[in-house]
Amino acid sequence: MELYKSMTNTISNEMKNLSLKFTVRMAIVFSLALFAVLIISSNSANAFSRTVSCKDISTTCDGFSPDPETVCSPATNGTGYGYRTNLVSGDTCNPAISKICEFQLGVAGTKDCSCVPSAWSPAASTICAGQTFTQSDGCGHTQGAVGTYSGGTFAPDPGTVCIGTSFIQTNGCSSRTAVGTKGSWVPSTQRFCSGQTFTQTNSCNVTTRLSVGTDEGFWHPPESLQCLGVTFTQTSTCGLTRTAVGTSAGLWRPDESQVCSGQKFTKKNTCTHATQLTIGTYSGGTFSPDPSAVCQGTSFLQSNSCFTKTAIGTNAALCVQPPTLDLKVNSSNTPPAVTAPANLNVSWTTTHSSQLTGCSGTGQGWDGVKATTGGNDSGGNLNN
């Protein structure tokens, strides 16, 4: 009987242990199955994703997440239903910790995804700088913004408005006062002596105005012509005077280029009056007369300011040739032997006749002026 009780208790305890183990195992299986369902749900095409992370006992529950407002609703091309998590008592990762993850299934997103947001408009770069305005993304969402646009180029351009004329310029955002620059006032103030009043005409709109000259004129003598440190008075072409100080270190006079080459001389500084011995470098200039002005082959003397030299003429046209005369009696250059009565014929030829001043004959039948270029004449009969 005792043995029966013992066996009965043993069997009963074993059954209890088996029942407990079965219960624990079933709980574990159920938990795993539920977890698997949740994982499958979270990875489905219609669920928004959320990873369940195991937390320690000190973690404070912070509400379900994600927020349905951040997930597209099923009615507007959304991902559909999913689950949310919140940390409560128990922990599926560590049963020893009395926190678990509570799952909330079947939560649908509420975000409207039927509209694809565009860039915020209007762009800040199109709104005047400093101006506040509202931007929209095209899906009903708005936000405040501040413009950055400077307004662009001001108009009209001053170059299109007559010089000196005040006018208002505007751009896309603001306006300002400007002064025209078109044309010019003529004549220039620099053409009149300082303090002199004259009338200027506007070349743009032909208006006139009184102006005052600004030119001081040319000052003379210049500082560069006065010895260094010497104070002197300058006078301008406009009648002004002023005190000036010379800047010249002086000039050495005479200059080497003014004294014949090779000639020693003493030059003096115009400011310090110092002297120094030097040698001239002047070649003397052009020699004269020029060979082209002298008969070709003729030797002559040329000279310049410093030197004399011998030269040979080169102009053949200037050479002087003496004239010649060839006189014949009865075609003979020698006195002919004739017996009276006889007829005599005189003929002559010349060279360089242009240099002859005249030709004449005397005697029986020869009187009168004769041609210098030559000719012939019968002097008459020789009677005795």
pLDDT at 184 over 70: yes
Q: Residue 60's Cα: distance from chain center in Å? A: 71
Which of 73-77, 143-147, 269-273, 373-377 shows the lowest mean pLDDT across its residues? 73-77
The tens digit of pLDDT for each residue in 312-324 reads 999 988 887 788 8
Mean pLDDT value across residues 146-170: 94
pLDDT of residue 329 exceeding 50, the answer is: yes
Q: Which residues pair with 102 in a beta bridge?
A: 86
Of residues 182 and 332, the one with the higher pLDDT is: 182
Which range is least confidently modeled, 32-46, 122-136, 143-157? 32-46
Of the two residues 57 and 334, the one the predictor is more confident about is: 334
Q: What is the pLDDT of residue 237?
A: 93
Per-residue pLDDT at 28 exceeds 60: no
> For residue 352, which amino acid is it?
H
Segment among 20-29, 124-133, 179-188, 294-303 with least mean pLDDT: 20-29
Which residue did the predictor score with more confidence, 111 or 242? 242
pLDDT tens column, 188-223: 999 999 999 999 998 888 889 999 999 999 999 999
> For the chain, what is the HEC assignment?
CHHHHHHHHHHHHHHHHHHHHHHHHHHHHHHHHHHHHHHHHHHCCCCCCCCCCCCCCCCCCCCCECCHHHCECHHHCCCCEEEEEEEEEECCCCCCCEEEEEEEEEEECCECCCCCCCCCECCHHHCECCCEEEEECCCCCEEEEECCECCCCCECCHHHCECCCEEEEECCCCEEEEECCECCEECCHHHCECCCEEEEEECCCCCEEEEECCECCCEECCHHHCECCCEEEEEECCCCEEEEECCECCCEECCHHHCECCCEEEEEECCCCCEEEEECCECCCCCECCHHHCECCCEEEEECCCCEEEEECCEHHHCCCCCEEEEEECCECCCCCCCCCEEEEEEEEEECHHHCCCCEECCCCCCEECCCCEEEEEEEEECC
pTM of the predicted model as reported, rounded to 2 decimal places: 0.35
CB-CB neighbours of 211 under 10 Å: 16
> So what's the pLDDT on residue 314?
95
Over the stretch 253-301, which tens digit does the pLDDT of each residue have?
999 999 999 999 999 999 999 999 999 999 999 999 999 999 999 999 9
The one-letter code for the residue type at 330 is: N
Q: Note if the bond before 289 is cis, omega within 30 degrees.
A: yes
Which of 209 and 382 is assigned the larger pLDDT? 209
**What's the whole-number mean pLDDT along residues 50-76?**
55
- Percent of the chain predicted with pLDDT > 70: 70
Cα–Cα distance, 28 to 34 (Å, whole number): 10
Give the number of residues written for the chain.
384
User: What was the pLDDT predicted at 331?
Assistant: 82
